[in-house]
């Protein structure tokens, strides 16, 4: 899309899809299943090219990670929707209005597709953030337009090519371009809009959508915290956190950002985390298993966060080999930043890179209070064997999702909703809840054959008996 003003082209595409959508209602199950299968087939056909494109866009992203996170993650979501959506489609009977239900009046809820959904993906998971929500969108019977991130241009171009091969543009289409295209995309009168990205940009997207009262699903982020209880196996917890933090070099919206440990266990935990991370990545330099930071700007940002914290007095430990990293190829070792100042950059912003904060508590309630004061994150993690403490953390915090004694894994639950709350977003996809997110839940009342209101004196002209009858119905 190269026009100076991309909005007319995007609007034309939206209007074309909406016209065909309206003419083709209702959307039967076999059509939905066939659309889902075509997306599955295009990923199966192009997975190797897409992995190569992601590798090139990142400057060395391992094919194994792209396969695991983006290709297989997307296929899992699409197959789960394909295999289960038909059970979610039927009308649901509901209680009718008394006393008319005694005369044959019935009620039910009907699930209908909303229409045309816009989906804005992100660079860190360039397939998953498009195709995982698309699975729920298509299962609900909608059409869609995808907007891949311009930060991964090769991947975006191949997604556009693959979709164009498999779909008519009135069914599923792709729009490419930079921030000006994304802004125009957000401002269109979609029937629903999905955005994955930062909280700051999410606010702009929601503001643009509000002009047309477009409902939004926002998958944002936040400083996803980890609470390591005193009852936790520190070595096991450190290993799981190291594995999670090493995924995509921490460039995931559910990556552990801040780890809370008991003060007296801090040194033991730091040593365990360093050992575990070193075991995964013995060196950072020239290591093909280490995902590069996506570009120079983000590389400098992560380095700046760590340097700022250190300049303000924070202790910084390094894991991932003794070398200083691979600046030429944007690979960084893991920085463990212990107790940074509250006003430091790393404490105020989502890290989104190979660094992690360590905070110390004397009583776990201090961690809970700090988590609650820092907004509502997309993910929260608890490690420990103390059932009462685990329940306390779950009951007294709010987050989009939770994993216990692991990290990241809740995002892979295809039969449970994935999404944020508060500053980490709104709405969700995956599972039946994803189907409902992109469906209009429509109440239907169907009158019985006989209407008793006239004979009961409930229609004008009202008689003197009606008010006493109404008063008698006012009960507790």
Using an 8 Å Cβ cutoff, are 293 and 299 in contact?
Answer: yes
Residue with tokens 């559910």: 254
Dist. CA 469–CA 472, nearest whole Å: 5
Q: Give yes or no: 253 in active site.
A: yes
Closest C-alpha among 358, 114, 331, 389 to residue 260: 358
- The gap from C-alpha 271 to its chain's centroid, in whole angstroms, comes to 32
Dist. CA 436–CA 430, nearest whole Å: 10
Of 51, 171, 239, 253, the catalytic one is: 253
Using an 8 Å Cβ cutoff, are 403 and 410 in contact?
Answer: yes
- Please list the residues that pair with 171 across neighbouring strands: none
Q: Which two tokens stand for residue 130?
A: 């498009």
Dist. CA 271–CA 249, nearest whole Å: 20
Residue 365's CB is within 10 A of a number of other CB atoms, namely 12
Using an 8 Å Cβ cutoff, are 372 and 395 in contact?
Answer: no
Q: Which two tokens stand for residue 277?
A: 């991370």
Per DSSP, the three-state class of 441 is strand
Closest C-alpha among 460, 459, 456, 475 to residue 102: 456
Using an 8 Å Cβ cutoff, are 113 and 27 in contact?
Answer: yes
Of 51, 55, 171, 219, the catalytic one is: 219
Dist. CA 77–CA 413, nearest whole Å: 9
Dist. CA 273–CA 252, nearest whole Å: 19
Strand order in the sheet with 192-196: 172-174, 143-147, 116-120, 192-196, 216-219, 425-426
Closest C-alpha among 239, 311, 237 to residue 277: 239
Kindly list the distances between the CA atom of residue 216 and the CA atoms of 48, 64, 202, 401, in Å, as whole numbers in the listed order.
32, 32, 10, 19
Torsion angles phi and psi, residue 418, rounded to 5: -115, 125
Q: Which two tokens stand for residue 377?
A: 């994150």
Catalytic residues: 219, 253
């Amino acid at each position: 899309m190269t026009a100076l003003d991309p909005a007319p082209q995007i609007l034309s595409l939206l209007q074309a899809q909406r016209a065909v959508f309206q003419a083709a209602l209702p959307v039967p199950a076999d059509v939905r299943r066939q659309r889902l299968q075509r997306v599955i087939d295009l990923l199966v056909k192009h997975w190797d090219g897409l992995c190569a494109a992601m590798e090139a866009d990142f400057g060395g992203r391992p094919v194994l990670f792209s396969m695991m996170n983006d290709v297989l993650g997307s296929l899992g979501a699409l197959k789960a929707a394909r295999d289960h959506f038909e059970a979610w489609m039927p009308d649901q009977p509901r209680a009718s209005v008394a006393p008319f239900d005694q005369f044959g009046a019935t009620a039910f809820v009907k699930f209908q597709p909303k229409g045309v959904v816009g989906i804005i993906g992100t660079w860190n998971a360039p397939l998953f953030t498009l195709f995982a929500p698309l699975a729920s969108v298509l299962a609900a019977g909608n059409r869609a337009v995808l907007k891949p991130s311009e930060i991964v241009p090769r991947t975006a171009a191949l997604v556009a090519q693959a979709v164009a091969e498999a779909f008519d543009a009135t069914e599923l289409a792709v729009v490419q371009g930079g921030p000006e295209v994304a802004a125009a995309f957000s401002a269109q009168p979609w029937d629903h809009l999905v955005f994955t990205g930062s909280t700051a940009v999410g606010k702009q997207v929601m503001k643009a959508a509000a002009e047309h009262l477009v409902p939004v699903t926002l998958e944002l982020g936040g400083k996803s915290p980890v609470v390591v209880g005193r009852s936790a196996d520190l070595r096991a917890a450190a290993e799981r956190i190291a594995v999670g933090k090493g995924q995509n070099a921490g460039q995931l919206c559910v990556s552990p950002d801040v780890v809370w440990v008991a003060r007296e266990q801090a040194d033991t935990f730091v040593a365990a985390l360093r050992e575990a991370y070193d075991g995964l990545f013995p060196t950072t330099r020239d290591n093909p298993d280490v995902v590069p930071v996506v570009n120079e700007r983000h590389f400098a940002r992560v380095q700046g966060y760590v340097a700022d914290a250190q300049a303000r007095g924070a202790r910084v430990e390094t894991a991932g080999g003794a070398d200083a990293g691979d600046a030429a190829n944007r690979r960084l070792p893991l920085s463990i930043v212990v107790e940074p100042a509250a006003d430091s950059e790393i404490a105020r912003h989502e890290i989104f890179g190979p660094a992690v904060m360590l905070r110390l508590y004397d009583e776990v309630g201090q961690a809970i209070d700090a988590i609650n004061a820092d907004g509502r994150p997309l993910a929260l993690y608890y490690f420990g064997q103390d059932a009462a403490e685990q329940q306390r953390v779950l009951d007294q915090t709010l987050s989009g999702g939770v994993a216990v004694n692991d990290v990241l894994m809740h995002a892979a639950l295809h039969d449970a909703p994935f999404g944020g709350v508060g500053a980490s977003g709104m709405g969700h996809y995956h599972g039946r809840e994803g189907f409902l997110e992109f469906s209009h839940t429509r109440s239907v009342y169907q009158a019985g054959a006989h209407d008793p209101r006239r004979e009961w004196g409930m229609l004008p002209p009202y008689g003197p008996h009606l008010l006493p009858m109404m008063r008698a119905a006012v009960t507790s």
